[in-house]
Amino acid sequence: MLDDSFHVFDTTLRDGAQREGVNLTVADKLAIAKLLDEFGVGFIEGGWPGANPKDTEFFQRARTELSLKHAQLTAFGATRRAGVRAADDPQVAALRDSGAPVVTLVAKSDDRHVELALRTTLDENLAMVADTVSYLREQGQRVFLDCEHFFDGYRHNPEYALSVVRTAVEAGVSVVVLCDTNGGMLPADVTRIVTEVREATGARLGIHAQDDSGCAVANTLAAVDAGATHVQCTANGYGERVGNANLFSVAAALVLKHGREVLPEGCLREMTRVSQAVAEIVNIAPATHQPYVGVSAFAHKAGLHASAIKVDPDLYQHLDPELVGNDMRMLVSDMAGRASVELKSRELGVELAGDRETLGRVVDRVKALELAGYSFEAADASLELLLREEAGQPVRYFEVESWRAISERRPDGANVSEATVKLHVKGERVIATGEGNGPVNALDRALRSALEGVYSALATMELSDYKVRILEGTSGTDAVTRVLIGSTDGRGEWTTVGVGENVIDASWIALEQAITYGLMRQGYPQG
């Protein structure tokens, strides 16, 4: 873990989840937290325990299901209510009991918000800050304070905004985070105000920038230039309205442009992989032109650029894409080269080091599959099965002869789906049927029915997540479809991917691989 002199603080699971169209399950949040930890952030804000059941469950499960190497889990919540002691406030108690070593409190720092939104006095707001910070510090938790609407409040009433900062510092807060909540600031003003606040209070300052003016990353870097040592960001810039400061753009700029060691060694190379994996989990197509991590970030067309790049790639690139885990592309390609495949295969337990022939086959096959619509960034189970096949270690527990699924609308209004699968298992031909509340559910039941007599461990496996995406460039009911299926056996989770001309075909591919991978996890012999 890095020293405490500079914080990269991620709030994807809380602020990023407020993006329109994002609805994270607890399993999604746990999976994203693991990815963020692999990227090396120092703090992961998990949500608001006590405010909703999902966030409360996340913190409960995190105690046993998250083993973080780099990050500390952080709980978010508000200062106590007006007129109530912090020790008696149920919401503060939820923060105390969350199990998180760090709490981020949000407080009003704009006098207009105190009087109009909180409907309390300016002095009581300061007391709320002091009481809540002091109480949580006494409980052994570290406390950060988000000063909501700070920049707007500072411009309207600088003395009161500064009094909130001073009150928090006197109560024992570690960092005071200045929030551009409405996202309307410009870098020059951020630099000036952060400098003035630091000189007036001596507080350790952080920055939280929304992107409504398109300047969230620039404002964050401007705050750092002015002395801020704590940056709050979200993966891929997810967030309410137009979003937040992009974690990956900020981190890359700090490391590669400012020369600051704000991430553990080697973590920056995970950036592209983590960015795309998070995008798959939230079910939002990765932004192809996103700085540093987009598939087009280092893409070049033929002609003048190509000629120059043959002489020296730096002539048309601001940095080596390998530094952030990306690739330079002269042709359309969505997959890294041999080195990336070699590293990933080692991570998945399939050793391909030095086997250039196999690595080349994997690269070529994955390129072809990704051009067809596959994405392996968030589907390690499918990738591992592919790697094993190309390495001469194919995983086969059954052979599929055929399958079919039909849906029926009955006169009473009920919808019933029925599926039939024909398999060969251990030398025997098996035919099984299943009914479900949809064709995919029916196929799942039919496949399990065909196999459960041979593989009893299927009883412990179940689908935990299901995502469908119509691929870019296709439309209508005949569009190419990608399906991600999450599965669990109670001891772990894995994800598989399928692509097909329709959602049922794509689902079957992902489902078949999910069962195959799950049986391999259980250690069943093949044949």
User: For position 442, which CATH number holds?
Assistant: 3.30.160.270
Residues 276 and 414 reside in one and the same domain: no
287 inside domain: no
pLDDT for 315 beyond 80: no
| pLDDT at site 332 | 25
Residues 271 and 403 reside in one and the same domain: no
pLDDT for 398 beyond 90: yes
- The sign of the dihedral angle between the CA atoms of 420, 421, 422, 428 is negative
| pLDDT at site 331 | 33
106 inside domain: yes
Q: Which two tokens stand for residue 30?
A: 């746990």
Residues 275 and 403 reside in one and the same domain: no
Q: What is the mean pLDDT of residues 331-336?
A: 36
Among the three residues 282, 306, 332, which one is the final residue of a domain in this structure?
Answer: 282
255 inside domain: yes
Which range has the worst mean pLDDT, 164-173, 223-232, 310-319, 411-420?
A: 310-319
| pLDDT at site 333 | 30
Q: What is the mean pLDDT of residues 40-49?
A: 96
Unique residue bearing structure tokens 């001469």 = 392
The domain total for the chain is 2
Q: What is the mean pLDDT of residues 446-455?
A: 92
Count Cβ neighbours within 10 Å for each residue of 56-76 and write b for 16 or more, e otherwise.
Answer: bebbeebeeebebebbbbbbb
d(CA 384, CA 377): 12
Phi-psi sector, 99: left (phi>0), alpha (psi -120 to 50), beta: left
Q: Which two tokens stand for residue 512?
A: 């078949």
| pLDDT at site 167 | 97
Percent of the chain with pLDDT over 90: 69
Count of C-beta atoms within a 10 Å radius of residue 42: 24
| pLDDT at site 474 | 54
**Residue pair 37/67 in contact by the 8 Å Cβ criterion:** no
| pLDDT at site 273 | 93
Q: What is the pLDDT of residues 170-211, one digit of tens each?
A: 999 999 999 999 999 999 999 999 999 999 999 999 999 999
| pLDDT at site 304 | 45
Count Cβ neighbours within 10 Å for each residue of 123-154 and write b for 16 or more, e otherwise.
Answer: eebbbbbbbbbbbbbebebbbbbbbbbbbbbb
Residues 268 and 415 reside in one and the same domain: no
Q: What is the mean pLDDT of residues 270-282?
A: 93
d(CA 284, CA 291): 17
In degrees, rounded to 5, the angle at the alpha carbon of residue 317 between the alpha carbons of residues 373 and 363 is 35
Q: What is the mean pLDDT of residues 474-499?
A: 84
In sequence order, the 6+-apart residues with CB closer than 8 A to the CB of 254 are 8, 221, 224, 231, 260, 262
Residues 276 and 424 reside in one and the same domain: no
Residues 278 and 402 reside in one and the same domain: no
448 inside domain: yes
**3-class state of residue 30 by DSSP:** helix
pLDDT for 305 beyond 90: no
Unique residue bearing structure tokens 């190509």 = 306
Strand-pair category, 462-470 with 481-488: antiparallel
Q: pLDDT band at 338, cuts 50/70/90?
A: low
Q: Which two tokens stand for residue 442?
A: 């029916």
| pLDDT at site 345 | 81
Q: pLDDT band at 492, cuts 50/70/90?
A: confident
pLDDT for 339 beyond 80: no
d(CA 50, CA 58): 11
Strand partners, 78: 106
Q: What is the mean pLDDT of residues 379-383?
A: 90
pLDDT for 516 beyond 60: yes
Residues 148 and 276 reside in one and the same domain: yes
Q: What is the pLDDT of residues 102-120, one digit of tens each?
A: 999 999 999 999 999 889 9
Q: Look at residues 129, 120, 114 and name the one whose alpha carbon lies nearest to residue 170.
A: 129
| pLDDT at site 457 | 87
Helices (H), 263-408: 271-282, 304-311, 338-347, 356-371, 380-390
Count Cβ neighbours within 10 Å for each residue of 422-453 and write b for 16 or more, e otherwise.
Answer: bbeeeeeebebebebebbbbbbbbbbbbbbee
Average pLDDT, the chain: 89
Count of C-beta atoms within a 10 Å radius of residue 400: 13
Q: Which two tokens stand for residue 178?
A: 């200045």
351 inside domain: no
In degrees, rounded to 5, the angle at the alpha carbon of residue 245 between the alpha carbons of residues 240 and 248 is 125
pLDDT for 302 beyond 80: no
CA dist 232 → 65, 170, 205, 250 (Å): 24, 23, 11, 10
Among the three residues 255, 282, 309, which one is the final residue of a domain in this structure?
Answer: 282
d(CA 292, CA 271): 8
Full domain range(s) for residue 423 = 398-454
Unique residue bearing structure tokens 């030095």 = 354
The whole-angstrom distance between residue 14's C-alpha and the CA centroid of its chain comes to 11
Q: What residue type is assigned to position 171 of the chain?
A: A
Helix (H) or strand (E) holding 161: helix 158-171
92 inside domain: yes
Q: What is the mean pLDDT of residues 295-301?
A: 69
- Phi, psi for residue 170 in degrees, rounded to 5: -65, -30
Strand partners, 52: 49
440 inside domain: yes
349 inside domain: no
CATH of the domain at 132: 3.20.20.70
| pLDDT at site 1 | 58
pLDDT for 334 beyond 90: no
Among the three residues 282, 317, 341, which one is the final residue of a domain in this structure?
Answer: 282
Q: Look at residues 72, 12, 8 and name the one whose alpha carbon lies nearest to residue 220.
A: 8
